[in-house]
Amino acid sequence: GVGMGMTAPVSITAFPAEDGSLQQKVKVSLRIPSQFQDNPPCPSDESIKIEERQGMTIYSMQFGGYAKEVDYVNYAAKLKSVLGSEAAYRKDFYLCNGYDPPMKPYGRRNEVWFVKE
């Protein structure tokens, strides 16, 4: 029953298939606003879980526009290509991040993150 407003980024954990496409399972994460960090309200929907995300080092690639799945897949492929074989990062998932409300038409910011091992 507590409204917390929207936070950024909205982070989607994507699980790539062998061909680079995304599997149907995804995990959407929203940041709990600062004033609720110490005592977050309990979700009324049992499919919603509160998790603490540990600190991480990431490799990131930024792009604009209204991001679709194909955009995240393409930018993940570009990031993989730029990093080459020398960088050690998690291959079983990556994070797709959007920073803007749906009604913002211009200057949109999206990122693909690979988590460094």
Return the DSSP state at 32.
P
Could you tell me the pTM of the whole model? 0.88
pLDDT surpassing 90 at residue 3: no
Domain containing residue 85: CATH number: 3.20.80.10
For residue 84, tell me if it sits in a domain: yes
Other Cβ atoms closer than 10 A to 22: 19
For residue 29, tell me if it sits in a domain: yes
**What stretch of H or E contains 15?**
strand 10-16
* Predicted pLDDT of residue 115: 97
* Predicted pLDDT of residue 72: 95
Which amino acid, one-letter code, is at 79? Answer: L
* Predicted pLDDT of residue 117: 95
CA distance linking residue 33 with residue 37, whole number of Å? 6
* Predicted pLDDT of residue 56: 96
pLDDT surpassing 90 at residue 96: yes
For residue 41, tell me if it sits in a domain: no
Each residue of 13-59: pLDDT tens digit? 999 888 877 877 888 998 888 888 898 888 888 998 999 888 999 99
**What stretch of H or E contains 94?**
strand 94-98
The boundaries of the domain holding residue 82 are 10-34+53-115
For residue 3, tell me if it sits in a domain: no
Mean predicted confidence (pLDDT) in 60-88: 95
Per the structure, how many domains does the chain have?
1
For residue 40, tell me if it sits in a domain: no
For residue 25, tell me if it sits in a domain: yes
Residue 25: how many CA atoms within 13 Å on its side-chain side? 4
For residue 39, tell me if it sits in a domain: no
Rounded to whole angstroms, what are the CA distances from 16 to 34, 36, 70, 94, 95? 32, 33, 12, 8, 11
Cα-based angle 54, 35, 109 (whole degrees, multiple of 5)? 60
For residue 71, tell me if it sits in a domain: yes
